[in-house]
């Protein structure tokens, strides 16, 4: 039995998948957080949050690294940790620093920090000669406006240090750029109380579909698990509206995006102790990297992978955090593809009706999760405003996406927001 230190977490599906993987691996964990109520508020009524199944729950200021390192060193001397882990992007660099400080397994802190900063990722990959969009990074308005003209509208404007597509926008002219600039200036602290970097990343708008490459790195080798495709909506935002695994792409395209992901991971130095989710655009000029996430995919992509291949990426995440070889053996699950589709609100109001009916009894349905009537709804501007999802599988081929889209169409017909 191993003992993991879990530093913060997302409150979505990974906050449940990660404790499950730790428990099913025969391990235990100590949970470290600066705000326990953040997790208590997210638990369904009458159900204890899975993170509270920890051997210990300890409060400390996880946003103050200088104070945190001696504190975890003291805890380590008493509790004896075998690894340290988090599912929350905002604490991935912190966990890498803790692992390095305590001599525990994990990727290099600089590699993780560069992957978690969109501007640093762009610079590292450009220096390595990997093809990418034209880009610029500035904090001042005059510099930003000038750079946008040099790149050429339309551009994509991004904060360098936020997640879930927050404030990522297509910008067609200077007036729209000014709106994004003002919105980011009015959001100086992220959801975890960390002060943001005021820099804005501008990128050339890339054409083509977007996919992600799921990988596991251990012992200096990067293992390819597969490619997931992605549906994007909500323009001018870039909201993920659905995914399917495996992606319905020609083999040549699959190979091209996999090689692009491998090149990016090697350039960043993420070749050991990492489960990664690398997003790539298949443009008319070839694959172009969007971003590298040094943690398992969100939006239940890990579950799509598990339903099709039997590979549990949450369990692999635990294994590599402990310095152990992950189990990446494929199993015959009876499914050839699995897809998920999200119900994305396009207007604000109060959810009055959303009836699943007999949806869970429909052939091929794997999951249904829907918001309850009475929920306050706002028009989606990122991946944080979903009203629910449907997941389905196809035992015969790559028809899971079409199945999910049909089921979602029925849900939308009964959706009432006032």
10-residue mean pLDDT profile of the chain (418 residues): values are: 96 89 97 92 71 93 98 98 97 98 97 98 97 96 98 98 94 98 96 95 96 96 97 94 97 97 98 97 96 96 98 98 97 98 93 82 91 90 92 98 94 85
Burial of residue 174, with CB atoms counted within 10 A of its CB: 0-12 exposed, 13-18 middle, 19 or more buried:
middle
Q: What's residue 223's pLDDT?
A: 97
Q: Which residues contact 142 (CB under 8 A, 6 or more apart)?
A: none
| Closest of 411, 392, 410 to residue 402, by C-alpha | 392
Contact 169, 234 (CB under 8 A): no
Nearby residues of 404 by Cβ (< 8 Å), 6 or more positions away = 242, 244, 339, 340, 341, 390, 391, 392
Q: In what order do the strands lie in the sheet with 169-171?
A: 135-138, 200-204, 155-159, 169-171
CA distance readout (Å), 254 to 280, 286, 325, 337:
11, 12, 25, 15
3-state secondary structure of 222: strand
The packing angle between helices 301-309 and 313-321, to 10°, is 100
- List Cα–Cα distances, 251 to 71, 258, 277, in angstroms: 50, 10, 20
Quickly tell me which residue has 């944080």 as its tokens: 384
Q: What is the DSSP letter of 296?
A: -
SS in 3 state form for 56-96? EEEECCCCCHHHHHHHHHHHHHHHCCCEEECCCHHHHHHHH
The answer to whether 282 and 259 are in contact (CB under 8 A) is: no
Please report the pLDDT score of residue 362 as a whole number.
87
pLDDT of residue 194: 96
H or E segment to which residue 343 belongs: none
Record the tokens describing residue 367, joined without a space: 């999951």
pLDDT at 199: 96
What pLDDT score was predicted for residue 43?
67
- Please report the pLDDT score of residue 253 as a whole number: 97
The pair of three-digit structure tokens given for residue 96, joined into one six-digit string? 């890498």
pLDDT given at position 44 = 63
Residue with tokens 């880009």: 135
**Predicted local confidence at residue 46, as pLDDT:** 61
- Numbers of helices and strands, H then E, in the chain: 12, 19
What is the spatial distance between Cα 247 and Cα 226, in angstroms, rounded to a whole number? Answer: 8
Token digits for 363?
């052939």
pLDDT at 361: 83
Question: What whole-number distance in Å separates Cα of residue 382 and Cα of residue 380?
Answer: 6
Cα(308)–Cα(306) distance, rounded to whole angstroms? 5
Q: Can you give the pLDDT at residue 45?
A: 60
Checking DSSP bridges between strand 83-85 and strand 3-7, what pairing results, if any? parallel
């Amino acid at each position: 039995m191993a003992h993991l230190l879990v530093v913060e977490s997302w409150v979505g599906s990974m906050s449940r998948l990660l404790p499950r993987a730790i428990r099913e691996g025969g391990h235990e964990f100590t949970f470290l957080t600066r705000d326990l109520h953040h997790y208590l508020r997210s638990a369904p009524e009458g159900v204890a949050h899975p993170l509270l199944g920890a051997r210990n729950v300890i409060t400390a200021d996880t946003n103050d690294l200088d104070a945190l390192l001696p504190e975890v060193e003291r805890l380590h001397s008493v509790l004896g940790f075998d690894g340290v882990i988090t599912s929350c992007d905002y604490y991935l660099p912190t966990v890498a620093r803790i692992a390095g400080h305590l001599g525990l397994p994990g990727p290099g802190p600089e590699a993780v920090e560069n992957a978690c900063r969109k501007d640093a990722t762009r610079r590292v990959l450009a220096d390595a000669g990997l093809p990418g969009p034209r880009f610029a990074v500035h904090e001042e308005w005059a510099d930003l406006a000038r750079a946008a003209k040099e790149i050429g509208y339309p551009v994509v404007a991004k904060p360098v240090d936020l997640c879930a597509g927050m404030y990522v926008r297509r910008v067609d002219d200077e007036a729209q750029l000014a709106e994004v600039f003002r919105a980011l200036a009015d959001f100086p602290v992220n959801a975890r109380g960390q002060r943001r970097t005021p820099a804005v990343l501008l990128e050339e708008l890339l054409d083509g579909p977007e996919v992600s490459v799921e990988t596991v790195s251990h012992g200096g080798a990067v293992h390819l698990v597969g490619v997931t495709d992605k549906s994007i909506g909500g323009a001018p935002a870039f909201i993920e509206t659905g995914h399917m695994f495996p992606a319905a792409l020609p083999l040549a395209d699959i190979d091209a995006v996999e090689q692009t992901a491998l090149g990016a991971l090697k350039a960043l130095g993420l070749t050991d102790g990492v489960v990664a989710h690398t997003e790539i655009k298949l443009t008319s000029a070839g694959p172009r990297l969007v971003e590298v996430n040094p943690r398992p995919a969100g939006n239940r992509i890990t579950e799509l992978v598990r339903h099709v291949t039997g590979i549990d990426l949450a369990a692999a995440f635990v294994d590599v955090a402990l310095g152990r070889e992950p189990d990446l053996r494929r199993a015959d699950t009876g499914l050839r593809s699995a897809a998920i589709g999200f119900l994305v609100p396009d207007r604000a109001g109060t959810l009055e009706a959303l009836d699943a009916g007999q949806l869970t009894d429909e052939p091929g349905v794997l999951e249904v999760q829907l918001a309850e009537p009475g929920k306050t709804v706002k028009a989606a501007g990122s991946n944080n405003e979903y009203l629910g999802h449907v997941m389905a599988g196809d035992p015969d081929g790559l028809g899971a996406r079409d199945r999910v889209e049909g089921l979602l169409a029925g849900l939308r017909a009964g959706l009432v927001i006032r």
